[in-house]
């Protein structure tokens, strides 16, 4: 066996993937992805819909066989030993994986038994986890009676009941309202603080990926950008200028020589401004005058990074 990047280093990474490819016919859903995620890291896999995030998670979690490449969970080769690998991982799917007709306790006992946990152990662990998630009073309620947010929380409890080393969260807050999304993130925070487990998540609510230690952006199955969220945002610039105008095209031609290439999203043009001082922007605003119907200057965030990358533009101007 040829030594590869994933064999390097002293302690094995929690998750490592080398040259991961998944083809469906002529379409490469994932096209040569390399990942190296150290134990305990909070890792975000970000990208537009159809960029291959879910396929990647399913390959890492043994559910989809890679067309090419190798995945290891710890030092377990996922293709060769999928059952052992599954023992080490928890996966919370985009869609619920619960039996709505059974109660919370029955669901968790069922899940526990699938991992060979006796009911006494899964009862005790679920009691602790439900308390961590403020759901102790729901134990004997049928899942069908829980709110969407609670069901998602229960799905996470289900995913970590067997104390996995690695937790995959595929869009954990999709379809939830803002208060419930915040709740889920509080739970994930508490869970990480308590167990120190490696967490890999995908999300397209990008502000939620901000607490990640590291994020990668994928586009058409390829890794296009990678880094610490704060650093990625900083690379984009110090300010984002949003302009609305009746003749957006004319304004764009006027401003691009000064500010660099802009991004058009609907009726709004986005410009980046690398410097901390705002004098340039202020003088440009005076020159443009009321040709712009709206002029906003704000700090960039991960959504901007995502937009720039989705548009296929490099971060550094």
Partner 1 sequence: MIARPIYAVLEREVLRMLRQKTRLVSAMVRPLIWLFVIGAGFGTVIGDSRGIPYQSFLVAGVIGMTMLFGAMLAALTTVYDKESGVMRMMIIAPLPHFWIVIAKVLSAALAAILQALILIVLLALLGYIGSRTNFVLLAGGLVITSLACAGIGILTASFTRSLDNFAAIMNFVIFPVFFLSGSLYPVQNLPEVLRWVSTFNPYTYGVDLLKHATMGPGVMAADFSLTTDFAVLAGFTLLAVVVASWRFSRESAYEPMIHVLTGKQR
Residues binding partner 1 (CB under 8 A):
24, 54, 58, 61, 63-65, 83-84, 86-87, 89-91, 93-102, 106, 109-111, 113-118, 158, 170
Quick one: tokens of 38? 């150290």
Distance CA 18, CA 5 (A): 8
Q: Secondary structure of the chain: what % helix, strand, coil (to 5)?
A: 40, 25, 35
Nearest approach in angstroms of CB 267 to partner 1 is 31
Nearer CB in complex with partner 1: 74/90: 90
Nearest approach in angstroms of CB 220 to partner 1 is 15
Distance CA 49, CA 203 (A): 10
Contact criterion met (CB below 8 Å) for 91 and 115: no
| Terminal C-alpha separation, the chain | 42
Quick one: tokens of 197? 């487990």
Nearer CB in complex with partner 1: 85/262: 85
Strands of the sheet containing 263-265, edge to edge, are: 263-265, 268-273, 239-245, 292-298
Nearer CB in complex with partner 1: 97/263: 97
Nearer CB in complex with partner 1: 112/237: 112
Nearer CB in complex with partner 1: 44/112: 112
Nearest approach in angstroms of CB 241 to partner 1 is 37
Quick one: tokens of 252? 């764009």
Nearer CB in complex with partner 1: 24/312: 24
The sign of the torsion formed by the CA atoms of 175, 178, 183, 188 equals positive
HSE of 272, CA atoms in CB hemisphere, 13 A: 22
Nearest approach in angstroms of CB 114 to partner 1 is 4
SS3 91: strand
Nearer CB in complex with partner 1: 90/300: 90
Nearest approach in angstroms of CB 165 to partner 1 is 13
Nearest approach in angstroms of CB 200 to partner 1 is 14
Distance CA 231, CA 301 (A): 11
Contact criterion met (CB below 8 Å) for 202 and 53: yes
Nearest approach in angstroms of CB 108 to partner 1 is 11
Nearer CB in complex with partner 1: 93/133: 93
Among residues 152, 178, 158, 73, which one has the least CA distance to residue 111? 158
Nearest approach in angstroms of CB 153 to partner 1 is 15
Assign 3-class secondary structure to 227-239.
ECHHHHHHHHCCE
Nearest approach in angstroms of CB 99 to partner 1 is 5
SS3 21: strand
Nearer CB in complex with partner 1: 150/315: 150
């Amino acid at each position: 066996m040829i030594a590869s990047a994933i064999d390097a280093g002293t302690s094995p990474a929690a998750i490592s993937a080398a040259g991961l490819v998944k083809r469906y016919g002529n379409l490469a859903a994932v096209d040569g992805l390399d990942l190296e995620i150290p134990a305990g890291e909070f890792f975000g896999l970000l990208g537009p819909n159809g960029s291959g995030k879910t396929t990647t998670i399913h390959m890492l979690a043994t559910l989809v066989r890679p067309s090419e490449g190798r995945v290891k969970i710890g030092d377990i080769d996922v293709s060769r030993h999928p059952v052992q690998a599954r023992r080490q991982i928890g996966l919370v799917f985009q869609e619920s994986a619960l039996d709505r007709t059974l109660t919370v306790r029955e669901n968790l006992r069922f899940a526990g038994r699938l991992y060979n946990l006796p009911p006494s152990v899964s009862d005790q662990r679920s009691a602790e986890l439900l308390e961590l998630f403020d759901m102790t009073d729901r134990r004997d309620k049928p899942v069908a009676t829980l709110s969407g947010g609670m069901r998602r929380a229960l799905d996470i409890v289900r995913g970590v009941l067997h104390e996995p080393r690695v937790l995959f969260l595929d869009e954990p807050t999709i379809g939830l309202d803002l208060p419930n999304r915040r709740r889920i993130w509080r739970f994930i925070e508490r869970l990480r603080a308590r167990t120190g487990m490696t967490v890999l998540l995908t999300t397209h609510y990008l502000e939620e990926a901000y607490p990640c230690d590291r994020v990668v952006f994928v586009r058409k199955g390829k890794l296009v950008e990678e880094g610490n969220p704060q650093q990625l945002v900083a690379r984009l610039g110090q300010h984002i200028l949003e302009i609305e105008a009746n003749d957006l095209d004319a304004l764009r031609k006027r401003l691009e020589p000064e500010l660099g290439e802009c991004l058009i999203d609907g009726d709004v043009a986005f410009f980046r401004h690398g410097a901390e001082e705002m004098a340039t922007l202020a003088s440009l605003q005076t020159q443009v005058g009321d040709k712009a119907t709206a002029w906003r200057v704000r700090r960039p965030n991960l959504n901007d990074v995502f937009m720039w990358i989705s548009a296929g533009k490099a971060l550094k101007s």
